[in-house]
Amino acid sequence: MALLQISEPGASPQPHQRKQAVGIDLGTTNSLVALVRSGSAEVLLDEDGRAMLPSVVHYGKDGSRLVGALASHLAVSDPLNTLSSAKRLLGRGMADIHSLGARLPYDFDHDDGGMPKFRTCQGAVSPIQVSAEILRTLSERAEKALGVMLDGAVITVPAYFDDAQRQATKDAATLAGIKVLRLLNEPTAAAIAYGLDRADEGIIAVYDLGGGTFDISVLKLTKGVFQVLATGGDSALGGDDFDRAIADWIGEQMGLDLVIDPAQQRQLLVSARAAKESLTTSESTLINVEDWQGQLTREQLALLIEPMIEQTLRACKRALRDARVDIQSVNDIVLVGGSTRTPLVNTRVSEFFGRAARVDLDPDSVVAFGAALQAEVLIGNQSGKERLLLDVIPLSLGIETMGGLIEKIIHRNTTIPVSKAQEFTTFKNGQTVMAIHVLQGERELAGDCRSLARFELRDIPPMVAGGAKIRVTYQVDADGLLSVSAREVVSKVESRIEVKPSYGLGENEITQMLKDSFSHARDDMAARALREQQVEADRLAEDLSAALDHDQHLLELSEAQCLRMAVAELVELRGHCSDHNTLAQQVKALSKASEGFAAKRMDSNIKSALAGHTLDEIDQD
């Protein structure tokens, strides 16, 4: 008898055969890769002993490609071919470039799908391709350190990344030849790195201040289950803004005009950043720029950056309110991002939460550490320590219905993975095709929400309007990626699509969409009510006109003329009326006026059905 070797699900069938997986923090400014050795996570270094890989790619005229520090050195001499901050454009469209153009001084092209592409000497390059170069470099660093090929990686993404941005990140990894074990939210990764998942329960606040963005996330931990309760922040606020404030102060001290040439502005920023970093450990620092020399103290720095820190704390208040958590209930505060090294940030955050923030891990590396620990579990090396991570979707997902309305199927802040379905029907008699328009947003009208995808359900059996039953199912997986299917219940014809749009939403856009949904709530409800009455008016006018064309002989000529005039009045009113109550009254009046005609049609149909049959035959039936 042959013997079969068995193992735990996800674990290697040969215990001594270890699989190799890493955690990757794909950052806007810098990226890192980490792995677990002897039970501890560590960041992998390059051949020069550097952990941080600048997220910069240079495309040379000779066909070469440089990634990291060597590429960043060419940013001044060859700016159009040296691409940085590509992460900001992952999952975005050309329409988003205008708001980012001042920070991304490149030439852009776009493909048919609307994805922005950088013009380089090697042709048009998408943000996905740029990110793939960075991921490939990190993967090669890991494989060189391990001496073997990687079996997979966990890649971190901001908590506010929507479906399009997550899919773009996953596509970049695929292009780099990396098997993605999981897309992990950055605040969750930080919490795992601190070992907070080993606690029984608690509320954790993750304060993440990087070079270009600020994020605050509130997580709930219950017996190893992470659940994101709320997330917020500012995608246009970070340590770079500290540098600009210091640079402006230096310019004022030097007596420079507000308009400074680019070379001088870069010099001021370099000096400002050096001064900021020096004040991390010193009470004061000397600054030398051209012929000017001055001193900057921590006290002066505090005056410059206090308004920005206060802005982050206001975002913390909003996140706690959204999570329905008071400050006293927060058990741990974790600081993430290099900008949290600024002493004033630590002090103000600790004062705000009323307890000392956790800073015992390197804020630059903590996200990569957490990703590596989770990768070790998902690859099967530590199957007994699997964690359950419950993230949420940032905005509602829905479908466009008649009248340009949105019917929400999965609401925002719903825990993922999730699957929800809802039944819809046809609008016209004999309708054999239904267009499915997938939307994301909080407003009531489809035009005010973000379009994600479109597809069609064909070969629906011809039925009367409202006869077909179309079951539309939305599924969001653990990575936050969406798939939609539509199925006609009777005939079982089906169509589905994996939603892979070419653009997505940034956190500030999500925040703005949520603000719009609140500030326009009353107007949106009125607009929805009007659209619903317009759809009802269209349906009644179309059905009654068709009935009159077919059965007008059942009425006196004057009766038929009155009904046709009433239909015409309803159609005219529908075209210019902006009050849903007025339109509803007109629809109700026409419905009542046509009741006699409907009764005569029913009697006529019954007589036709009984014609040629005796009472005995009817009784037998």
Q: What is the pLDDT of residues 57-67, one digit of tens each?
A: 998 887 888 99
Instruction: Average the pLDDT over 288-309 and give the result.
Output: 92
Contact 426, 463 (CB under 8 A): yes
Residue 505 confidence (pLDDT) above 60: no
Ordered DSSP codes for 286-302: EEEETTEEEEEEHHHHH
| Edge-first strand listing for the sheet containing 116-120 | 108-110, 116-120, 123-125
Ordered DSSP codes for 164-229: HHHHHHHHHHHHTT--EEEEEEHHHHHHHHTTGGGSSEEEEEEEEE-SS-EEEEEEEEETTEEEEE
Residue 546 confidence (pLDDT) above 60: yes
Instruction: Average the pLDDT over 587-600 and give the result.
Output: 82
β pairing state of 82-84 and 53-54? unpaired
Number of helical H runs and strand E runs in the chain: 16, 28
Contact 210, 29 (CB under 8 A): yes
Instruction: Average the pLDDT over 29-54 and give the result.
Output: 89
Which pLDDT band holds residue 7 (cuts at 50, 70, 90)?
very low
Which pLDDT band holds residue 199 (cuts at 50, 70, 90)?
low
What's the pLDDT score for residue 510? Answer: 44
Backbone angles phi, psi at 184, to 5 degrees: -115, 130
Q: What is the DSSP letter of 86?
A: G
Residue 487 confidence (pLDDT) above 70: yes
User: Half-sphere exposure of 475 toward its Cβ, with a 13 Å CA cutoff?
Assistant: 10
Distance CA 24, CA 375 (A): 10
Query: Of 606 and 101, which is predicted with more confidence?
Result: 606
Instruction: Average the pLDDT over 352-358 and give the result.
Output: 92
What's the pLDDT score for residue 285? Answer: 93
| Residue whose C-alpha is closest to residue 478's, from 394, 377, 391 | 391
Which pLDDT band holds residue 96 (cuts at 50, 70, 90)?
low
What's the pLDDT score for residue 575? Answer: 79
Contact 448, 516 (CB under 8 A): yes
Residue carrying structure tokens 């969750």? 188
Q: Does domain 17-187+365-379 have CATH number 3.30.420.40?
A: yes
User: Half-sphere exposure of 159 toward its Cβ, with a 13 Å CA cutoff?
Assistant: 32
Which fold, 195-360?
Answer: Nucleotidyltransferase; domain 5 (3.30.420)
β pairing state of 418-424 and 415-416? unpaired
**Which positions ≥6 away from 350 have C-beta within 8 Å?**
333, 356, 357
Helix 595-610 / helix 557-576 crossing angle, nearest 10 deg: 130
What's the pLDDT score for residue 228? Answer: 79
Which pLDDT band holds residue 12 (cuts at 50, 70, 90)?
very low
Residue 28 confidence (pLDDT) above 50: yes
Distance CA 342, CA 476 (A): 39
Distance CA 484, CA 495 (A): 9
Residue 207 confidence (pLDDT) above 60: yes
**Which positions ≥6 away from 497 have C-beta within 8 Å?**
436, 438, 453, 455, 483, 484, 485
Q: What is the pLDDT of residues 128-148, one digit of tens each?
A: 889 999 999 999 999 998 888
Which pLDDT band holds residue 155 (cuts at 50, 70, 90)?
very high
Distance CA 349, CA 359 (A): 12
Which pLDDT band holds residue 303 (cuts at 50, 70, 90)?
very high
Q: Which of 15-19, 116-120, 266-270 has the lowest mean pLDDT?
A: 15-19
**Tokens coding 249:** 């102060």
Residue 618 confidence (pLDDT) above 60: no
Which pLDDT band holds residue 11 (cuts at 50, 70, 90)?
very low
Ordered DSSP codes for 331-386: EEEEEESGGGGSHHHHHHHHHHHTSPPB-SS-TTTHHHHHHHHHHHHHTTTTGGG-
What's the pLDDT score for residue 456? Answer: 81
β pairing state of 21-25 and 116-120? unpaired
What's the pLDDT score for residue 503? Answer: 45
Q: What is the pLDDT of residues 552-572, one digit of tens each?
A: 888 888 888 888 888 888 888
Residue 103 confidence (pLDDT) above 60: no
**Tokens coding 574:** 């529908």
Contact 247, 269 (CB under 8 A): yes
Do 17-187+365-379 and 195-360 share a fold?
Answer: yes
Residue carrying structure tokens 């055969």? 17
CATH of domain 522-610: 1.20.1270.10
Which residues belong to the active site? Answer: 25, 87, 186, 208
Which pLDDT band holds residue 102 (cuts at 50, 70, 90)?
very low
Which pLDDT band holds residue 264 (cuts at 50, 70, 90)?
confident
Which pLDDT band holds residue 110 (cuts at 50, 70, 90)?
low
Instruction: Classify residue 264 by burial, with Cβ atoms within 10 Å: 0-12, 13-18, 19+.
Output: middle
Instruction: Report CA dihedral (177, 181, 185, 187) to the nearest 10 degrees.
Output: -110
Residue 101 confidence (pLDDT) above 50: no
Which pLDDT band holds residue 457 (cuts at 50, 70, 90)?
confident
Peptide bond into 417 cis (omega under 30): yes
Distance CA 352, CA 601 (A): 73
Residue 371 confidence (pLDDT) above 50: yes
Q: Which of 200-214, 301-315, 319-333, 505-519 has the lowest mean pLDDT?
A: 505-519
- At 181 the three-state DSSP class reads strand
- CA-derived radius of gyration, the chain: 31
Instruction: Average the pLDDT over 573-589 and give the result.
Output: 81
Domain residues of the chain, as ranges? Answer: 17-187+365-379, 195-360, 393-518, 522-610
Residue 616 confidence (pLDDT) above 60: no
What's the pLDDT score for residue 518? Answer: 61
Backbone angles phi, psi at 73, to 5 degrees: -65, -20
What's the pLDDT score for residue 210? Answer: 80
Query: Of 303 and 549, which is predicted with more confidence?
Result: 303
Most confident of 71-80, 233-242, 285-294: 285-294
Instruction: Average the pLDDT over 62-77 and give the result.
Output: 82
What's the pLDDT score for residue 504? Answer: 42
| Residues above pLDDT 70, as percent of the chain | 81
Q: Residues in the chain, how many?
A: 621
Residue 384 confidence (pLDDT) above 60: no
Distance CA 93, CA 431 (A): 34
What's the pLDDT score for residue 286? Answer: 93
Distance CA 198, CA 183 (A): 21
What's the pLDDT score for residue 6? Answer: 43
Contact 201, 183 (CB under 8 A): no
Residue 356 confidence (pLDDT) above 90: yes
Q: Which helix (H) or strand (E) holds 143?
A: helix 127-146
Q: Cα separations (Å) of 335 from 342, 352, 362, 538, 577?
A: 11, 13, 9, 57, 55
What's the pLDDT score for residue 507? Answer: 46
What's the pLDDT score for residue 369? Answer: 93
Peptide bond into 9 cis (omega under 30): no
Residue 169 confidence (pLDDT) above 50: yes
Residue 516 confidence (pLDDT) above 70: no
Contact 157, 184 (CB under 8 A): yes
Instruction: Average the pLDDT over 198-227 and give the result.
Output: 80
Residue 614 confidence (pLDDT) above 60: no
Q: What is the DSSP letter of 413?
A: T
- At 505 the three-state DSSP class reads coil
Contact 424, 472 (CB under 8 A): yes
Contact 88, 100 (CB under 8 A): yes
Q: First and final CA of the chain: distance in angstroms?
A: 66
Which pLDDT band holds residue 617 (cuts at 50, 70, 90)?
low
Cβ neighbours, 10 Å, residue 19: 17
Which fold, 393-518?
Answer: Substrate Binding Domain Of DNAk; Chain A, domain 1 (2.60.34)
Distance CA 184, CA 370 (A): 9
Which pLDDT band holds residue 383 (cuts at 50, 70, 90)?
low
What's the pLDDT score for residue 524? Answer: 61
Instruction: Classify residue 543 by burial, with Cβ atoms within 10 Å: 0-12, 13-18, 19+.
Output: middle
Q: Using alpha carbons only, give the angle 468, 472, 478 rounded to the nearest 5 degrees.
A: 170
Instruction: Average the pLDDT over 160-173 and give the result.
Output: 81
Residue 257 confidence (pLDDT) above 70: no
Query: Which amino acid belongs to residue 371?
Result: A
**Tokens coding 506:** 């940034």
| Residue whose C-alpha is closest to residue 104's, from 392, 506, 395 | 506
Q: Cα separations (Å) of 339 from 181, 208, 460?
A: 29, 9, 57
What's the pLDDT score for residue 256? Answer: 79
Residue 10 confidence (pLDDT) above 80: no
